[in-house]
Chains A and B, each alone.
Chain A
Amino acid sequence: MAAISKFPWCLALWCSVSHAFASARSTKDDTEPIPIVVTTWANQGFVAATDRAWRHLQTTGDRLGAVVEGCSACEEMQCDRSVGYGGSPDESGETTVEALLMDGPRHRMGAVGDLRRVKSASRVAYAVMNYTKHSLIVGESATKFAIEMGFTEESLQTDESKKMY
């Protein structure tokens, strides 16, 4: 199957299903059904994250929760090592994370930048949206906020990210 060879990582069984449309090479400017989930990139983790967001949306109807679930999935799977812990070490070797959420009906927002030693950037952004009047919290202060919200403080370094550094 030509589509599979384009995705050499695509060995798991679910992949053969999920890439039934892998040859699509276009955009869709015609009306399409909603609900819809659209996600940047299409490597393995991003496909799984899209699937998790869709399932969450279908089972709960909670679109914002679905965004949080989808982005959190990539954080847990360390999508491309560019999302979540254990990737993109800075000049001091530390991994810092950031996330944004915006919700349309009331134009609400929550975000964290330069978040340190907390893995779940999207869930912390969700806490900023739900438990503060603010939009963006950064750095060590964001870590402190997250800990107060019950998140675990832990190193975001891995053997892999130490090697990259």
Chain B
Amino acid sequence: TSNHDTIGMVIIDANADVSVGTSTNGATHKIPGRVGDAPLPGAGAYVDNAVGGAAATGDGDVMMRFLPSYHAVELMANGATPSEATRSAIERIKPFYPAFTGAVIAADKKGRYGAACHGIPTFSYCVFNNHSDAVQVITVDCI
């Protein structure tokens, strides 16, 4: 496992209201006092109740410079699907930091969801809705 995984969660309730959250212990051997992307709005996670939510995980020192969660939600506000939006958020980082590792998940008020990733072969994430009575594990190929 990589040393900068974070739990990021997007929840949309039956009224189509949205909450997001993250929790992490940061990067191993970080300089004391370092804060990553996880507690930062728009970086670690973001919500727009008219649209949906997104959350990010990975190399927070790099990813926070691009506000990938805000970016993904804003793209969904402009009509992108969750997988298109997360893909664009990851693509924005690549030219500057071709070696970064990270992933973004997103869901919208229609219950659509998606993810995109970079720096690892595939990324797996969890989905739970009424289509099953258990957690669904979804895997995407990274870009």
A binding-site residues for B, Cβ under 8 Å:
7, 17-22, 24-43, 46-47, 49-51, 53-54, 57, 61, 63-64, 66-68, 70-72, 74-75, 79-85, 87-92, 94-105, 107, 109, 111-114, 121-122, 125, 135-136, 138-139, 156, 164
How many inter-chain contacts with C-beta < 8 Å in the A-B complex? 314
Beta-carbon contact of A111 and B16 below 8 Å:
no
Query: Which of A29, A92, A98 makes the CB contact (< 8 A) with B23?
Result: A98
Binary contact track B29-70/A, C-beta < 8 Å → 1, others 0: 111111110111100111111000101110000000000000
Known contacts: A24-B136, A29-B112. The answer to whether A101 contacts B19 by CB under 8 A is yes
Cβ–Cβ < 8 Å partners of B48 in chain A = 104
Dominant SS at the A interface? Answer: mixed
Cβ–Cβ < 8 Å partners of B57 in chain A = 40-41
Beta-carbon contact of A33 and B39 below 8 Å:
no
Known contacts: A24-B136, A50-B128, A113-B35. The answer to whether A83 contacts B24 by CB under 8 A is yes
Of the listed residues A81, A113, A138, the one surrounded by the most CB atoms of chain B closer than 10 A to its CB is A113
Known contacts: A38-B105, A63-B11, A98-B26. The answer to whether A82 contacts B49 by CB under 8 A is no
Cβ–Cβ < 8 Å partners of B17 in chain A = 63, 104-105
Beta-carbon contact of B111 and A36 below 8 Å:
yes
Beta-carbon contact of B29 and A70 below 8 Å:
no
Cβ–Cβ < 8 Å partners of A74 in chain B = 7, 23
Cβ–Cβ < 8 Å partners of A50 in chain B = 9, 126-128, 135
Cβ–Cβ < 8 Å partners of B32 in chain A = 90-92, 94, 96
Q: Which residues of B in the span 1-23 have a Cβ within 8 Å of any Cβ on A?
A: 1-14, 16-23
In Å, the complex CA distance between A164 and B30 comes to 13
In Å, the complex CA distance between A31 and B108 comes to 9
Beta-carbon contact of A104 and B53 below 8 Å:
yes
Known contacts: A35-B129, A104-B19. The answer to whether A53 contacts B47 by CB under 8 A is no
Beta-carbon contact of A80 and B1 below 8 Å:
yes
Beta-carbon contact of B137 and A24 below 8 Å:
yes
Query: Which of A7, A40, A138 makes the CB contact (< 8 A) with B7?
Result: A40
Least CB separation from A111: chain B residue: B39
Cβ–Cβ < 8 Å partners of A80 in chain B = 1, 5
Of the listed residues B40, B56, B113, B136, the one surrounded by the most CB atoms of chain A closer than 10 A to its CB is B136
Of the listed residues B4, B53, B127, B135, the one surrounded by the most CB atoms of chain A closer than 10 A to its CB is B135
